[in-house]
Amino acid sequence: MFKAIFTNSFGILFSRILGFFRDLLTASVLGASVYSDIFFIAFKLPNLFRRIFAEGAFTQFFIPAFARSRHKAVFSIHIFLVFSLITLLITLFVNLTPQLFTKAITTGFDAQTIAIAAPYVAINFWYLPLIFAVTFLASILQYKHHFATTAFATALLNLSLIAALLLSRNQESSQIVYYLSFAVVIGGILQLFVHLIAIYKMGLFKLLFGGFKYLHKKSSLIKEDTKKFRSNFFPAIWGNSTAQISAFLDTFLASFLATGSISYLYYANRIFQLPLALFAIATSVALFPRVARYLKNADEAKALQNLQKAFWFLSFLLTASTIGGIVLSHEIIFFLFERGAFGSADTEYTAAVLMMYLIGLLPFGLQKLFVLWLYAKEQQMRAAKVATISLLVYIIFALAFIQPFGVAGLALASTLGGFVSLFFTLKIFGWQNFFAILRSKNLLYLFAGSLLFTALLVVLKDFISAYI
């Protein structure tokens, strides 16, 4: 398990380092301006649908369903064709009505800004069908315990965007955003290409080809599998999409605030997502196929044992990341972004948003771990109910906090939604099981280590501040 976690983590780290270099260039070239807001909006939309239809519900429900099916080749190709059609139709709809779609999600923008943003939105959306195909192939590779290709493939998107920024840095802002938008699509093509190579090298082309070849003849044999998949998938979509919807609502509400607010959310969230992806997502991706197989074979004890190891691993790393990020929030933003068009005031606003996000790092990370238990047990409907409650809490607090706290209030509302989501997920998981995990180690060691780490960071902060 830990080998797979470290493979995922290293791949994510490599990609995020490139991502931070990309963001550094973006901040330097576009700053926190109307054009940076427009690109982040254009890029956020296909990512929203990607995480809802592809990486979220699809991966977490496809793997158990794929493992259970007796006709894996035909079942997998059937699902691939259905969802490819859905993502393609969404993309075509957006490209036919880009202004309508852009206006729907950026009500705070004026008509001129919406007109400028619409072409970029249309271009970026072609990333969606590409990345769904990538996610489908990645799910099959994960079932075979191959994680490296997917972990490192995201770096190709960042490399494509970095190349676009370097090639266009002396152009007008409008041209730079065009370069970036086409780079997103090129990055998707590159990711698909390397996954096809991995599928070929692992000898899985035979499975996919067989699925296409016998789909018509054997479609009747998978009716039960596909019926169960569809009935559970839509609750799974909703359960996985609420975090993305709240991030989308962040952007929507921030469009009513001062220019640059969307960019502050984006830059802060990028840093927040680093430990979340590096530790929580990498761990959950590696753990899920294993837990799903144990539960499928009615071996709950081994499934819980693996979950317990992952819990303490995550608790230590996420606690350290939370403390470090909050104490050094200003310094992190200063070193990463404050140059060129990104000024000191932008640093202050972004650091405030980052601190609000980081308060929720531990609950968000642990929730990603424990929700796997619900999906592995095919309790998608219960997970969807938890997600609904969490989203409603977020909306209430976002509307309450946006006026007094501005853009930082939106990040705090998201954090409070994360706490609520973890609470109800643990309630379904079982308090008895959770407290058994807590009793397996001494919490005092974690608490004492956190205090010592905080003291060291305060000293480090004073040292750094003397040279800023």
User: Two tokens at 64?
Assistant: 């158990």
Can you give the pLDDT at residue 106? Answer: 64
Rounded CA-CA distance 347/330 in Å is 7
Can you give the pLDDT at residue 245? Answer: 75
Can you give the pLDDT at residue 2? Answer: 55
Residues making up the chain, counted from first to last: 468
pTM: 0.70
Give Rg (Cα) of the chain.
Answer: 22
Name the residue with tokens 């619409």: 118
Cα of first residue to Cα of last residue in the chain, in angstroms, is 42
Question: Which residue type occupies 43?
Answer: F
Tell me which residue of 80, 82, 54 sits closest to 208, measured CA to CA.
Answer: 80
Q: What are the pLDDT digits (tens) for 27-50?
A: 777 776 777 777 877 777 666 666
Q: What is the DSSP string of 180-221?
A: HHHHHHHHHHHHHHHHHHHHHHTT-HHHHHHHHHHHHHHGGG
Rounded CA-CA distance 359/101 in Å is 33
Specify the DSSP element, H or E, that contains 359.
none
Can you give the pLDDT at residue 51? Answer: 63
Domain edges within the chain: 2-465
Q: What is the DSSP letter of 145?
A: T
The segments of the chain whose pLDDT lies below 50 read 54, 467
Whether 211 and 77 have beta carbons less than 8 Å apart is answered as yes
